[in-house]
């Protein structure tokens, strides 16, 4: 191709260069007119703040952190789904009907809105940031010391509700590991393989069977009912540390939806997470990727080159 380009007239080479740059930029730009989650533009965050002024925003003492941890920056969750239907917590939720929309998108290790809810309290510690790829970090909840890594939640989002979360994770389902904890109707605690607990739900059993220990993968959790985002704990239980129910591993990124998304959206999100975090194994076509973007996924530069050369 380089040899052929040298034989082209200068004007033709300039035209092709401009054309290539234009389509690469267009392919890399997320086409999400209605916004996404915590990685949305600053304008979306400011809009969410304005819409949330005057709302009932509960302040729980056990959600405050101490020390100079980077997680203490209390940022606002962006772009909550609209609507007025009630969910698990009446008066706090705004649940949209279909189509499903992204109300949460977060790389936990880099998101100041992901607050360790018990860090600094006796028996608890902040989760560690560990390298998932040479460029990106994940949060590790696999502590070996006397303090149990605190789960994280997202504050200042009283009007956001999630019903499905799709995560990039690595770990194992051992000792009732809690990947996500929410109100009773939306709790997902994963029992160890071969040792199911009496109260293990079908959703917990399906999730347990889908996990491969020690391998990066995509995990999908569908709650029976929408849960208020500020009441969902990732990487651990809201219980006491001696219960040892934190997730045994890492969580890299979380994408949450207002309602359960369709198969094309799920495939697109899984493909995005697999490419971004470098573990592969979740193919998707261009239509599925676009469906995820249309639902509000901020794909960044992950699909730019792929879409251009496709």
Domain count, the chain: 1
In this prediction, residue 196 carries a pLDDT of: 59
The answer to whether residue 22 is domain-embedded is no
| Residue 33 confidence (pLDDT) above 50 | no
Q: Check pLDDT > 50 for residue 264.
A: yes
pLDDT score of 205: 82
In a domain, 60, yes or no: yes
In a domain, 43, yes or no: yes
253 versus 45: the higher-pLDDT residue is 253
Q: What's the farthest any 2 CA atoms get from each other in the chain?
A: 75
Looking at residue 24, what is its pLDDT?
56
Question: What would the two tokens of residue 292 be?
Answer: 């995820």
Q: Specify if 176 maps to a domain.
A: yes
> Which pLDDT tens digit goes with each residue over 137-171?
999 998 767 788 999 999 766 678 999 999 999 99
Lowest mean pLDDT among 1-10, 202-211, 240-249: 1-10
According to the model, what pLDDT value does residue 53 have? Answer: 33
Does some domain include residue 29?
A: no
Give the pLDDT confidence of 175-229 residue by residue, as tens digits. Answer: 778 899 988 888 888 877 666 565 678 888 888 888 898 999 999 999 988 999 9
Q: What is the pLDDT of residue 307?
A: 44
Q: Do residues 155 and 63 lie in contact, with contact meaning Cβ atoms separated by under 8 Å?
A: yes
Q: Which of 145-154, 257-266, 299-308 has the highest mean pLDDT?
A: 257-266
Q: How many whole angstroms separate alpha carbon 159 and alpha carbon 55?
A: 8
The reported pLDDT for the residue numbered 16 is 80
- Inside any domain, residue 217: yes
Which residue matches tokens 């219980």? 239
Of the two residues 131 and 148, the one the predictor is more confident about is 131
Q: What SS3 state is found at 271?
A: helix
Q: Check: CB of residue 302 under 8 Å from CB of residue 295.
A: no
With a CB cutoff of 8 Å and minimum separation 6, the contacts of 299 are 30, 272, 289, 292, 293
Is residue 245's pLDDT more than 70?
Answer: yes
Q: What is the mean pLDDT of the chain?
A: 74
Q: Does 162 reside within a domain? A: yes
Domain encompassing residue 232: 34-300
Is 26 domain-assigned?
A: no
pLDDT, tens only, 70-128: 333 333 233 333 332 223 333 334 444 558 999 999 999 999 999 999 988 888 999 99
């Amino acid at each position: 191709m380089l040899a052929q380009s040298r034989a082209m007239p200068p004007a033709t080479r300039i035209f092709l260069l401009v054309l290539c740059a234009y389509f690469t930029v267009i392919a890399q730009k997320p086409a999400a007119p209605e916004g996404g989650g915590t990685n949305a533009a600053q304008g979306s965050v400011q809009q969410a703040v304005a819409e949330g002024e005057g709302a009932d925003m509960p302040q729980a003492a056990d959600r405050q952190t101490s020390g100079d941890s980077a997680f203490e920056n209390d940022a606002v969750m962006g772009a909550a789904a609209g609507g007025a239907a009630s969910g698990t917590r009446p008066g706090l939720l705004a649940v949209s009907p279909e189509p499903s929309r992204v109300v949460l998108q977060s790389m936990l290790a880099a998101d100041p809105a992901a607050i360790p809810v018990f860090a600094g309290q006796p028996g608890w510690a902040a989760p560690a940031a560990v390298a998932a790829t040479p460029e990106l970090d994940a949060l590790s909840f696999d502590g070996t010391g006397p303090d149990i890594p605190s789960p994280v939640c997202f504050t200042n989002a009283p009007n956001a509700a999630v019903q499905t979360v799709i995560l990039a994770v690595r770990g194992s389902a051992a000792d009732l590991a809690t990947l996500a904890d929410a109100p009773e109707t939306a709790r997902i605690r994963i029992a160890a393989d071969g040792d199911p607990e009496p109260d293990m739900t079908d959703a917990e059993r399906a999730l347990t069977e889908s996990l491969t220990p020690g391998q990066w993968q995509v995990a999908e959790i569908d709650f029976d009912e929408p849960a208020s985002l500020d009441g969902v704990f990732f990487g651990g239980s809201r219980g006491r540390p001696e219960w040892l129910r934190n997730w045994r591993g890492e969580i890299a990124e979380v994408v949450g939806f207002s309602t359960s998304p369709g198969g094309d959206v799920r495939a697109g999100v899984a493909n995005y997470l697999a490419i971004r975090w470098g573990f592969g194994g979740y193919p998707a076509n261009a239509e599925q990727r676009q469906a995820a973007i249309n639902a509000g996924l901020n794909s960044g530069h992950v699909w730019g080159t792929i879409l251009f050369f496709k």
